């Protein structure tokens, strides 16, 4: 796994923990390590092989174990279990720029959005705009990001 993938998983973990109402220090730690990983000049795999993960800011024993698991298996059991606590669409919604954990939960609960396709439709038909604190600029940003994902072939429909 590449650094960007691992950093993204840690960012998603932070967002899911936030949606669960977990401890802010834990959430902040995952966000911090995500940023640290994105700034690394070398791939984490090399640091794992050289037993140098402790040199990365924010990486302690628990994160070391999680990074090692991702590098060796290509997945993270903790993340899989955490994702299973939420509707399937939650992770997809979190991947859309402009949608944080609280907004994603509101979209899921109040609009019953179950896919990115359904989100795109809710933007087009104005249902997303009906949500409280969902301003015109936010909706424009979400719509622009959806189009960008589609253009880059990263749009996961379903």
Q: Which CATH number fits domain 3-84: 2.30.30.140, 3.90.1150.10, 3.20.20.70, 1.10.150.110?
A: 1.10.150.110
Tokens of 37: 């990983």
Q: Give residue limits of the domains in the chain.
A: 3-84, 89-151
CATH of domain 89-151: 1.10.150.20
Of the candidates 152, 80, 149, which has an alpha carbon nearest to the alpha carbon of residue 117? 149
SS3 content of the chain, % helix, strand, coil (to 5): 70, 0, 30
Residue-by-residue pLDDT tens, the chain, 158 positions: 999 999 999 999 999 999 999 999 999 999 999 999 999 999 999 999 999 998 898 899 999 999 999 999 999 999 999 999 998 888 888 888 888 888 898 899 899 988 888 999 999 999 999 988 888 998 999 999 888 877 776 554 44
Q: Is 33 left (phi over 0), alpha (psi -120 to 50) or beta?
A: alpha
The residue assigned the tokens 């959005």 is 113
> Does 89-151 match 3-84 at the fold level?
yes
Contacts of 49 (CB under 8 A, 6+ apart): none
Lookup: tokens for 50: 């050289």
């Amino acid at each position: 796994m590449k650094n960007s993938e691992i950093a993204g998983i840690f960012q998603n973990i932070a967002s899911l923990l936030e949606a669960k109402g977990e401890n802010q220090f834990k959430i902040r730690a995952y966000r911090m390590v995500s940023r640290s990983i994105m700034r690394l000049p070398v791939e984490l795999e090399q640091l794992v092989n050289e037993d140098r993960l402790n040199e990365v800011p924010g990486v302690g024993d628990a994160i070391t174990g999680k990074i090692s698991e991702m590098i060796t298996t290509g997945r993270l059991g903790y993340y899989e279990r955490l994702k299973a606590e939420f509707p399937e669409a939650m992770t997809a919604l979190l991947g859309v720029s402009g949608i944080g954990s609280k907004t994603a939960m509101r979209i899921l609960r109040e609009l019953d959005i179950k896919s990115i396709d359904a989100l795109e439709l809710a933007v087009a038909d104005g249902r997303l705009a009906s949500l409280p604190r969902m301003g015109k600029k936010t909706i424009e940003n979400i719509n622009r990001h959806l189009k960008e994902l589609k253009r880059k072939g990263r749009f996961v429909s379903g």
